[in-house]
Structures are given as structure tokens and as C-alpha cells.
Structure 1
């Protein structure tokens, strides 16, 4: 532990040069890339949420009317058959 105190002076460090300031065109290009990346992430989150919401809304509507998609389809086919009989 005392060996640490006996070390010589620290070597001088070289600093990296300051980064060059970006041009307006480069700044705009980076902003555009960040915005596109953000939109992609938002889309990957929102699209499934929207699809699940639509499915849930339709299922809740059928549940509220105490029916099912199959029954609704059968009734529509019956109406279609009745309309065909009237016109024919």
C-alpha cells in the first residue's frame, strides 16, 4: 500500500482535439435520422396497440349485442337470400 505513494509524477496526458462543429446540412441529416428512428419505434409500439384495441372493440360490441360474427354472417346470408327471392 505504501508503494503507491512512492510512484513518480504522473505523465502528461494528451487531449483529443475538439470535435469540428457540424454543418447545417449534417445537423439536419442527423435530426432527420433521429426522427425516422423515433417514428419507427413509435410505429412498432402503436400499431399493435391499435390493432388490439380494434379487436377488443369489435369483440366487446359482439358481446354487448350477445351475438357472434358467425351468427351475424348467417343472418346477412338469410337477408341476401330473401332479397334475391323478392327480385327474382
Structure 2
């Protein structure tokens, strides 16, 4: 099948060790740390901010449920108090 190729045996290739990586300067190390820290903070913010907003919403809703009222009723009562205060003045 491959008799016409006349391949010779493979010869070993001399491997040269890769040059050691250059050591980074202190300034470059600091820049890399800062970049990675900013990425981490950005990811954390994208996760935590929505969780905090939902927590505040659920907390307010639970507070209104506990008191047996709703935001609309509270607003109406505040407007009544405002109207009473304007009549006094």
C-alpha cells in the first residue's frame, strides 16, 4: 500500500529549553494585580447590586404585609395629612 513512499525512520529532534520568562517589574506586577482586582470588583458588583435591590424590595413588601397595608394606602394617608396641614395654615 505505502511501499512506494520509501520513508526513512524518524530522526530525533533536539529540543531546546524555552527561554525563562522575563521577570516583571514591580510596577507591572502592581498593574496586573490592580487590573485583576478591578475585574473581580466589577463581577462582584454585577452580582451583588441586583441581589441588594431585590432584597430591599422584598423587605419593603414584607414590611407592608406585616403592617397589613399597601404603598397606595400609605400614600393616600400622607396626602390626607398634607391636606389637613394646608387647611390649618
* Residue among 38, 41, 44 paired with 1:39: 41
Number of residue pairs matched?
82
Q: Which has the higher helix share?
A: 1
RMSD of equivalent CA atoms: 1.5
Give the alignment's TM-score, normalised by structure 1. 0.85
Task: State the SS of the aligned residue for 1:85.
Answer: helix
Task: State the SS of the aligned residue for 1:10.
Answer: coil
- Match in the other structure for 2:5: none
Structure 1 unaligned residues grouped into runs of 5+? 1-6
Structure 1 stretches of at least 4 aligned residues deviating more than 4 Å after TM superposition? none
5 Å matches for 1:1-88? 7-87=9-89
Q: Structure 2: how far apart are the matches of 1:67 and 1:77?
A: 16
